[in-house]
Amino acid sequence: MRSWANFGCGFVCIGLITAYSAFAHAQAVLTPAQALDYRRVGDLHFSPDGSKLVYVVQSYRWDWQPHLWVLDVANGNAHQITPEGNSERSPQWSPDGKLLAFLSNRNGKTQVYAMPTDSGAATVVTARKYGVTSFHWSPDGRTIAYLAKEDDAPGTESGPQVADRESDLPRLWIVDLASKATRGIGTPGYRIDEFQWQNSTNILVAAAAKPQIEEYTDAIYCVSLSDGAFKLSSRPPQPFRGLIVSPDGRHYTVQSTRTNGPIPRDLFVGTIGRDDLRDVTASVDRAVAEVKWHEQSTIWVRVVDGFANRIWRFSPTAAAVPVKLSLSVAAFDVSGGGLVAFAGGDFNHLPALYLRALDGSVRLLDRVQQGWENTQLAPAEIFHAQSFDGTPIEAALMKPVGVHAAEKLPLVLLVHGGPSSNFTAGYDWETAWAQLLVAHGYQVLMVNPRGSNGYSEDFVKANRGDLGGGDYKDLMSVLDQVIAQGGTDPNRLGIGGWSYGGEMSAWATTQTGRFKAAVAGAPVFDQQAEFETEQGPADDEWQFGTPWEHADVFARNSPATYIGNAHTPTLILDGIDDASNPVGQSKGLYRALKHLGIETQLVLYPGEGHSPRSGAYNLDMFERILDWYDRFLKGSD
């Protein structure tokens, strides 16, 4: 029996509703341009003394180029500190708080820049021919370590492109800020994916000794600054990420998995030099998204818990403690004094910055958004429904405000990317898609089917080798239960999504004729062809094995196998330079639909990858998406 638990409005406390009261009285209809004109906040960092907060802001108005902002915690004054037209990211305070370093492409290739925190312009710290990928301050603040290719490495923009060249691997470098002297560290041949300073003489790295192997093979190594030798420290369960060294330099954490994938969802803590990793978040059994470790006794963790992101506090001597917040948390940091700054929001409240005091009270620091005063966003009903086999599935339903109860509306089923991802109660690209449709008279259903992140370990693994099986049945089971509630026109159903969502949209058109319109963004059409051409096939190998060993599994999970059953008009969108689901997948789906005489349109965006960043291209997509659904679900020309 399905149970409805409408807590969409319950996410927001009275004080925060008051702060956003202008939204409730607005009348303007959301347009594609307005839906995309939001700002996302992330990568929050308190200054060492806790007086300032630096963070990264992105917007499609800036072609999703990140910019740095600094906020004065005491008075809430915030201002952008980097110029328009560039990509500025990865802010890091120096240990003494006198300098702020970051990555910028303002002079071409991405380099490390540093600027005084009181006043003054930023100056370039590195000058690498091919740019810098990441960096970290040394504990004493005198040097910066960073990853970059050798300047004499062959270019990748012209000439023969040789696969798996050692010269294409970035290596570890150290620059002295006073003298600007630079030296390489470590043994060539390793692919270094992450690193952190352990102390003034050693750096801890997550690296692959055989990078040509396209599987998860990283291990933790300790690199000595004196001789550059790589000393194996431990081999965390694969896959893992998020290397952090403890404040005392003796321990470290990684996000890993306790039972073989598919994603690094648990937090493991170990002693450097010992193979004693232990899972400290098993009792919570939710996916870890962000970790802060500023004091030895306390680790703060943001976890994905269904439609909400929540913060927990972990201690080696006490039970884990949830931090009560009324909003879903997109990013956070903790000051030395225990103040929690976070970017929070829900379905109908855009991201803003808040501060949680020691007594648990929360105050608004900065609204962040501009130009939304006259726009109303729709709330969402979050509920649980039993699937075909009794599995509880969480979903959210958005409805237009003020619709007569007897009116039956068209509905679009949105499917999230991933598959090991989820819909979250916040405003992002997928939510913007949903809000746009709701503003134009559609119901929108967002389901977290089996395989989604934010639930148990078993749940996230439940669609392994079965994409389009149980997960598709979950989607349809929830859809049927929504239709049974009334208010939905079963003859005007659409489906859409991006990446895995695009793949499932294409899949659905091969399994049922109920959908009258589909939008497939960056889909997978043929699993074997994708495996053979994608960048980084390790995730798909976890799902299906390899096509030369399990051709039947790849075929069974491919929309291409069943495309002869399709009848749904389908809009296909993708970036021409998509390396995750290469553009040939979109072209293959388009060719098949044309051959079958099914109405279809293929739109490709030059210079864009798996997730197009250009504001103009995203606007074009949203306009096409709305027009496509209107044409086939409302009958407009």
Whether residue 147 is contained in a domain is answered as: no
Whether the pLDDT of residue 16 is over 60: the answer is: no
Query: pLDDT band at residue 635, thresholds of 50, 70 and 90?
Result: confident
Task: Give 191-237 pLDDT, tens digit per residue.
Answer: 999 999 999 999 999 999 999 988 899 999 999 999 999 999 999 99
Task: Give 425-444 pLDDT, tens digit per residue.
Answer: 999 999 999 999 999 999 99
Whether the pLDDT of residue 28 is over 80: the answer is: no
Over residues 547-557, mean pLDDT: 96
CATH of residue 594: 3.40.50.1820
Closest C-alpha among 135, 125, 131 to residue 178: 125
CB-CB neighbours of 558 under 10 Å: 25
- Which residue carries 């807590």 as its tokens? 7
Residue 11, pLDDT score = 33
Whether the pLDDT of residue 7 is over 50: the answer is: no
Query: What distance in Å separates the CA atoms of residue 563 and residue 42, rounded to the nearest whole number?
Result: 40
Whether residue 525 is contained in a domain is answered as: yes
Whether residue 143 is contained in a domain is answered as: no
* Burial annotation 491-528 (CB, 10 A radius, 16+ → b, else e): ebbbbbbbbbbbbbbbbbbbbbebbbbbbbbbbbbbbb
Are β-strands 443-448 and 409-415 bridged in parallel, bridged antiparallel, or unpaired?
parallel
Query: pLDDT band at residue 137, thresholds of 50, 70 and 90?
Result: very high
Whether residue 474 is contained in a domain is answered as: yes
Percent of the chain residues topping a pLDDT of 90: 84
Residue 637, pLDDT score = 43
**Partner residues linked to 443 by β-bridges:** 411
Task: Give 67-106 pLDDT, tens digit per residue.
Answer: 999 999 999 999 999 988 899 999 999 999 999 999 999 9
Task: Give 368-391 pLDDT, tens digit per residue.
Answer: 999 998 888 999 999 999 999 999
pTM: 0.93
Q: What is the domain extent for residue 558? A: 380-634
Whether residue 56 is contained in a domain is answered as: no
Return the structure tokens found at 225: 């600054």
Q: Residue 222: which residues within 8 A CB-CB, separation 6 or more?
A: 198, 202, 203, 204, 205, 230, 231, 233, 272, 273
Task: Give 501-542 pLDDT, tens digit per residue.
Answer: 999 999 999 999 999 999 999 999 999 999 999 999 999 999
Query: What distance in Å separates the CA atoms of residue 190 and residue 212, rounded to the nearest whole number?
Result: 10
Is 588 in contact with 525 (CB distance < 8 Å)?
Answer: yes
**Domain total for the chain?**
1
Whether residue 165 is contained in a domain is answered as: no
Is 78 in contact with 89 (CB distance < 8 Å)?
Answer: no
Whether residue 150 is contained in a domain is answered as: no
| Distances 356 to 43, 333, 345, 383, 545 between C-alpha atoms, Å | 17, 11, 14, 28, 46
Query: What distance in Å separates the CA atoms of residue 266 and residue 255, rounded to the nearest whole number?
Result: 5
- What is the DSSP secondary-structure string of 114-178? EEESSS---EE----TT-EEEEEE-TTSSEEEEEE--TTSPPSSSS---TT-GGGS-EEEEEETT
Task: Give 265-282 pLDDT, tens digit per residue.
Answer: 999 999 998 889 999 999
Query: What distance in Å separates the CA atoms of residue 339 and residue 328, rounded to the nearest whole number?
Result: 17
Whether the pLDDT of residue 2 is over 50: the answer is: no
Query: What distance in Å separates the CA atoms of residue 269 and residue 71, rounded to the nearest whole number?
Result: 32
Query: What distance in Å separates the CA atoms of residue 311 and residue 309, rounded to the nearest whole number?
Result: 7
Whether the pLDDT of residue 300 is over 90: the answer is: yes
Return the structure tokens found at 89: 């990211």
Whether residue 281 is contained in a domain is answered as: no
Task: Give 453-469 pLDDT, tens digit per residue.
Answer: 999 999 999 999 999 99
Task: Give 329-369 pLDDT, tens digit per residue.
Answer: 999 999 998 999 999 999 988 999 999 999 999 999 999 99
Is 435 in contact with 377 (CB distance < 8 Å)?
Answer: yes
Return the structure tokens found at 350: 């855009």
